[in-house]
Structure 1
């Protein structure tokens, strides 16, 4: 049997082994986007390490957790192998602000969720949710910021909330950053949900970090994760009447 035939058989095995179905808080098998499949399952190589393939399939997330913020009234689900953080780590092209598109002192971080990366952190990909209660920021929440790409603005409605989408990027000194933002006003607050990929040229790392995700691949995986998170606003709590 030729190596290519073996590779095709193993690829089919990989596809059948991946979980499927909608992601909800009750499921134990969250769906995986094809872009998230282990690289050993892809057709771009005839060489497959069976032991590595078995290890990667065993490590495929089988459970999801639910993040609930009762103070700001939202929830989402996420693969249990990811660890949410309440801090936004600053980098060379961003200062850890509540929103990459806004001033740091006008809001504050709520939660971030990062994809696994190499120890050198050559590519960092994370979803950040921040909020601002500043009146001016709330009024301008859905406007296109000066540092966003001019033709990236889109507007859509989802479950009675109007969202705007825009993107932006920057690069300097062997580093780059790309950000996609979803903005909305909810209960008189401006929320910014941002998909951020921060990358360093692998050749600029000592030793060169060629195992790191490429920025485009990282954004694809981040988009897949965001679509699975099932972000929802919590229902308004009824006001108690004094007797």
Structure 2
């Protein structure tokens, strides 16, 4: 092989490597651009979540829920962030909610489950911490609600994660309407949001 052709081969190889690096860098930027970062103002907690999720900053009340910081918000607490799946509509909505409280009563009762809740057989781990997990289903008239909840006391703070799929029976509409997702699919997608939570070291 001539010296000129060898030089050309080396140059082409270098361009290929640089191109590959640029593509990987672009992929990393694309991945980060598709995530939103949240950090709680008054709690050592942060999270990242997909930008496609819709954040609920106003009223989050519903047929079954008053939109508080957790299912039973009879003690003071703060709703840190609430997110909905983008396909949610008036037939079915999927909501993920994170709340916290340092109120003494809230902390004392943090692991007391709501009435009629069923404890899951094993604890869940979120950001390296063990959470008590439960499910709760409710129905009324043509409405339904399915909940998967998680509770933990960490550094004298009660943390509550509620995943709520709720809506109405699409058959009550004329013509009947189909939900935007199944309850199982919605719960699986809401569950994956937990992976973005992180607790700051103090």
TM-score (ref. length: structure 1): 0.63
Aligned pair partner of 2:116 in 133, 139, 147? 147
Tell me the CA shift for residue 137 of structure 1: 2.1
- How many residue pairs are counted as aligned between the two chains? 175
Contiguous gaps of at least 5 residues in structure 2: 1-27
Query: How far does the alpha carbon of each residue in 1:171-224 deviate from its partner, in whole angstroms, 9 at most, with x for none?
Result: 11111111111111123221101111112111123553215222222212222x
The residue aligned with 1:115 is 85
User: What is the CA RMSD across the aligned residues, in angstroms?
Assistant: 2.5
The residue aligned with 1:175 is 143
Aligned pair partner of 1:29 in 31, 40, 46? 31
Q: What is the distance in 1 between the residues matched to 2:153 and 2:76?
A: 15
* Alignment map for 1:200-215 (pairs within 5 Å): 200-215=168-183
Tell me the CA shift for residue 135 of structure 1: 1.1
Aligned pair partner of 1:218 in 169, 175, 186? 186
Aligned pair partner of 1:83 in 25, 35, 54? 54
Q: What is the distance in 2 between the residues matched to 1:202 and 1:132?
A: 37
Q: What is the distance in 2 between the residues matched to 1:152 and 1:193?
A: 14
Secondary structure at the aligned position of 2:151 is classed as: strand
TM-score (ref. length: structure 2): 0.74
Q: Tell me which of the two structures has the higher relative contact order, counting C-alpha pairs closer than 8 angstroms and 6 or more residues apart.
A: 2
* Alignment map for 1:16-55 (pairs within 5 Å): 28-29=30-31
Distance 1:211 1:164, change over 3 A: closer
Q: Could you list the runs of 4 or more consecutive aligned residues of structure 1 that deviate by over 4 angstroms after TM superposition?
A: 156-160
Q: Say whether residues 1:103 and 2:103 are aligned partners.
A: no
